[in-house]
A and B are shown apart, each in its own frame.
Chain A
Amino acid sequence: AQKVTQAQTEISVVEKEDVTLDCVYETRDTTYYLFWYKQPPSGELVFLIRRNSFDEQNEISGRYSWNFQKSTSSFNFTITASQVVDSAVYFCALSESGTYKYIFGTGTRLKVLA
């Protein structure tokens, strides 16, 4: 069965600190996609990244980086030098190839304090 676990319900950091958001997934499929979305207080979903199961290279985009490890079924997200504008709820999601349902985790609320 598909499942996404975001064990951290809420994290608070002080501005400029680095923070890592954890995501652990379960799937029986060998081909799947992983996603991260940001949901700011305004409520919309902002797409951050899509990664397929065959690409285990870590990715960096500005202050954001992602660590994909199939051995531990994890797809963690790190924000370097956090800023107040990073305050939001972050969702990890999974989709198996050939299906259309995105399975979302319960989200991690990140509060960055000035």
Chain B
Amino acid sequence: NAGVMQNPRHLVRRRGQEARLRCSPMKGHSHVYWYRQLPEEGLKFMVYLQKENIIDESGMPKERFSAEFPKEGPSILRIQQVVRGDSAAYFCASSPREEQYFGPGTRLTVT
């Protein structure tokens, strides 16, 4: 059973561009979580999704950030009009119920 997949692993965007981060959960997992790790910090919860539903987005910045987990395909974290402060590692986790399994992360660099 393949683990949680994230792509790309590294993403470079210029200020003002859009960043799309993808997460494919483990087979059979219907819960997806996104966390952000700013440089030299711990991971912070952003959003929790189930198929086609956002359950909790209390950790998402109010503007420019959105997430989806469609019926088919990976979960997408979208950041519009990126700024330098968005540079971070973004981790996705999936779970069948409670225990979360983390992907390898996507490192976003905004130049």
Contact = CB atoms under 8 A, between A and B. Distances in A.
Given A100-B48, A100-B56, A100-B98, A43 B104 contact: yes
A46 B23 CA distance: 18
A89 to B, nearest CB: 9
Contact of A50 (B95, B99, B107): B99
B104 A44 contact: yes
Q: Which of A4, A33, A102 has the most CB of B within 10 A?
A: A102
Contacts of A4: 42
Given A100-B56, A101-B45, A45 B102 contact: yes
B31 A100 contact: yes
Interface in B57-91: 59, 89, 91
A36 interface: no
A43 B105 contact: yes
B54 interface: no
Interface range, A side: 20 to 34
B17 interface: no
Contacts of A102: 33, 35, 43, 45, 93, 100
Contacts of B89: 43
Interface in B21-41: 31, 33, 35, 41
Contacts of B104: 43-45
Contacts of A93: 43
Nearest to A107: B42
Contacts of B43: 45, 91, 93, 102, 104
Closest 9 A/B residue pairs (Cβ): A104-B42, A44-B104, A101-B45, A104-B43, A45-B102, A106-B42, A107-B42, A100-B48, A105-B42
Given A33-B98, A95-B98, 13 more contacts: A33-B99, A43-B107, A44-B104, A45-B43, A45-B91, A47-B101, A47-B102, A91-B43, A100-B48, A100-B95, A100-B98, A103-B45, A107-B42
